Structure 1
């Protein structure tokens, strides 16, 4: 392995210190080559502590790729799952994490290798903890106790006192990020992370990378393709952010899509199982039941040891669960416990504790806000957000109610927007995009806009499904398209539709 690594590093040497003249490996307008101290470093691979099937290493990167000689280096935790059939090896496949803020980027290659053995045979599957997350140099904002204050209460409350409290908590969060992460914040953005990927490519000894990016990683992949198009071999973008526009515009569309998923998928599923969960036999009865329970929690939150279930926790649990239909039974079981906490079984209470007590984290939101607040410009006028928050709360209350809290953080964010990266698809090979029609987080309408911007891309639309993340899954239609693309170099000639398997909705076991 050591000899092979040395040979690969030697083959890649001409492309390291000075990038290809067609892409330069630089931000727009930036004429700085990558310093040799970064391209000449060695990745010291060793077995990963938590994933024995992976090798791990640490990579040093510039704090600021636009000024690589300024400031202290950052550390990026990277990993590799070696191709299981070297004779079929096609190269390296980068898989990145979502969020932004997911802390599991370094360990993700193990999951893909287990679920897609044919891909694992042909590719070294590589991953990394994005700057600001996980085992890499991390952003720090609030303690767990401070963070609970940000999520406390009822975001639907439109009283002046409640609005003032929400804005104060949002400003407090932004200020804590400034105090605790300091000069790191301006460099936690998607453009900087795309440069980290290309340095990783260099150190792997690969002239080109293939890429699989779900959720937020679709945006990271699109940015990488815009900055380094001639370094892309194949690219799969799964469950797509509206990466051709701004975070502000994209996030203003999420209240609609989460409400659609809740109203049109989860509520009918629950109504069809009234004999099991006793929440109503029609969609109207289930919705009314939800509102009664939520109103009761506003007046009398459930407090059981460290667990508090108030209206925001009720909403957050639903938001989290409806990403995947296989989790619907967990939300339903948790709702039976919230219905009457005194008589709920210990098992139902335990499920409710997981569903309503484990939502996001201070670590997740430190990176989430660092990226979303500074990748693209945000409206800074707080009156605008109070007004938009009221409108979205009335129309799409599940997620619309938190619009003010989350947007007020970005309105108070202490850094300027990052340099603009324009997505066009120029000089890229055919890019494969996947999206379900009812995805709550990366909604289909945004995927269509991203697809139009990424010229030459092919979109696989998954109908009869609202799950977030389409590969790898049990949908053989999607799997066949993706693996023909990755393994046989066969890109679809046009956009496709894949129906979701009709195996029935999940049941409680």
Structure 2
């Protein structure tokens, strides 16, 4: 069973991409795309949603007296991890409306100072998305793999958001319970399987409440963005310079909406659309993954021995039959876990995040055709951040906690899901039902959502660069268009290609445009497109 709305550039994918920066990697497909890409929600739909959503109001520019101690704290840095990295812990209030020192959260921060040559510009806070991705882990990779001119003039900084990884992590299930959760069939064919989904969601929610009740009401994106402002001040920066990917764009855009006068140079790569409901997010994301699957299939059939067949139509029929067969006859994997339909689907979805994983998926599907589900299980484990020792990161726990607090549930009952199934099937003939049933994941959540769809304008903010990839599976291109249109100072940079997010993933054109902005403040020209 997948967790709905997982929006992140995983450290696994980035680590692979970093080895391929000079070649074709994540988001670097060079086939031409139409000016209005297929497989995304119509522009009129997102425009209507944006206009209907209320704008996010900025906070007062003056720091409230109750919060001044947080802005005045002293960070104590120590050497950690790889050579040149420093780590520290920052305190933030659990509840910004009622800060109590005894309830303060300890948030983990890492940095690598600018390497030179050239004059240091300041700190560049980075986030890989999720919600639930570790920014500390991501920063340590970014500090080695981002273009050298940026690393030379910025301190690369990562802070695990509240509830994530090293920052008071949300905990929900044991590793064994998580194994069981991931194997629940997300494409039910009878009432018994529908009941199993509802029961699994309830057990997940109950576990989160049991182990992390204090946190569940205070892991919203707005609170995490306010934490970022405290860190900005403690780093000595008058304005925030930030590069967020995937859900990290929601963090960055929210920061800009709350603190427009403190916006420095913000890059939002693989943008989310904050004006969409959870249901619209799920449906349009299903479209995005369908577009990515079609691109993978088109690429696969060009290779001799493609396990999907020789045409894209054959590939579509193959994947439906393959997943159905896994449901009826799970494959051995060389482990105690078998590869059933749910884990097979997760492995497929993981490979859609990055074009350089397509050859890995071809090999995994070929192995499955020979009766070996092990390679596809490995892809699924990467999706869930399950280690070889059977332990899980808290990615999926934080993901659910933030998503379920930020937006009201997409669906609240099995009847709701069945009502929207036709729209999901239309959006994604191959993966739509899975995404429809995933939309039920917040129905059992023990904490009522505090957020709503919102339009982020950030009036008065400095120019903000929004990067959109035309065949991005997880954050469809139309989301980037919508966010850039909402932001009063937004500028859209389009990458015509495949994969999830584009910067530092192999496109010299994208990297050059973003580098000029980060280093010189030069905004890409209107309509700038990289192919």
Task: State the TM bucket, normalised to the shorter chain.
Answer: 0.7 to 0.9
Aligned to 1:14: none
Give 1:153 shift: 4.4
Map 1:434-445; keep pairs closer than 5 Å. Answer: 434-445=467-478
Aligned to 1:337: 367
**2:317 paired with 1:284:** no
Map 1:353-372; keep pairs closer than 5 Å. Answer: 353-361=377-385, 363-372=394-403
CA 1:253 to 1:83, structure 2 compared with 1: closer, same or farther past 3 Å?
A: same
Map 1:141-180; keep pairs closer than 5 Å. Answer: 141-180=172-211
Bigger CA drift: 253-262 or 283-292?
Answer: 283-292
Deviations 1:305-328 (A, max 9, x none): 233211111111110011111110
Aligned to 1:220: 251
Which residue among 483, 488, 491 is the counterpart of 1:458? 491
Give 1:204 shift: 1.0
**2:290 paired with 1:266:** no
Asked whether the 8 Å contact 2:184–2:197 carries over to 1, the reply is no
**2:375 paired with 1:351:** yes
Asked whether the 8 Å contact 1:94–1:126 carries over to 2, the reply is yes
SS in 1 for 2:282: helix
Give 1:34 shift: 4.5
Asked whether the 8 Å contact 1:74–1:137 carries over to 2, the reply is yes
Aligned to 1:311: 341
SS in 1 for 2:384: coil
Matched residues in 2 for 1:25 and 1:106: separation?
A: 28
CA 1:403 to 1:71, structure 2 compared with 1: closer, same or farther past 3 Å?
A: farther
Matched residues in 1 for 2:118 and 2:184: separation?
A: 58
**2:439 paired with 1:415:** no
Q: Which runs of 5+ in 2 are unaligned?
A: 1-57, 386-391
Give 1:111 shift: 2.4
How many pairs align?
463
Map 1:179-258; keep pairs closer than 5 Å. Answer: 179-258=210-289
Aligned to 1:497: 529
CA 1:181 to 1:453, structure 2 compared with 1: closer, same or farther past 3 Å?
A: same
Map 1:446-485; keep pairs closer than 5 Å. Answer: 446-463=479-496, 465-485=497-517
Asked whether the 8 Å contact 2:186–2:438 carries over to 1, the reply is no
Deviations 1:133-165 (A, max 9, x none): 111101011122222332224322231111111
Which residue among 384, 408, 412 is the counterpart of 2:416? 384
SS in 2 for 1:212: strand
Give 1:357 shift: 4.0
Q: Which runs of 5+ in 1 are unaligned?
A: 1-21, 500-509
Larger radius of gyration: 1
**2:48 paired with 1:24:** no
Give 1:419 shift: 5.0
SS in 1 for 2:358: helix
Give 1:354 shift: 1.4
> Which structure 1 residue ranges, 4+ long, deviate > 4 Å from structure 2?
419-422
Map 1:66-81; keep pairs closer than 5 Å. Answer: 66-69=97-100, 72-81=103-112
Matched residues in 1 for 2:425 and 2:343: separation?
A: 16
Bigger CA drift: 392-401 or 405-414?
Answer: 392-401
Matched residues in 2 for 1:485 and 1:462: separation?
A: 16
Aligned to 1:110: 140
Give 1:56 shift: 0.7
SS in 2 for 1:180: helix
Matched residues in 1 for 2:337 and 2:381: separation?
A: 6
Matched residues in 2 for 1:379 and 1:338: separation?
A: 34
Please report the RMSD computed on the Cα atoms of aligned residues, expressed in angstroms: 2.2
CA 1:236 to 1:126, structure 2 compared with 1: closer, same or farther past 3 Å?
A: same
Deviations 1:64-116 (A, max 9, x none): 112223761111000111111275111111111211011x3113223223231
Higher relative contact order (CA 8 A, sep 6+): 2
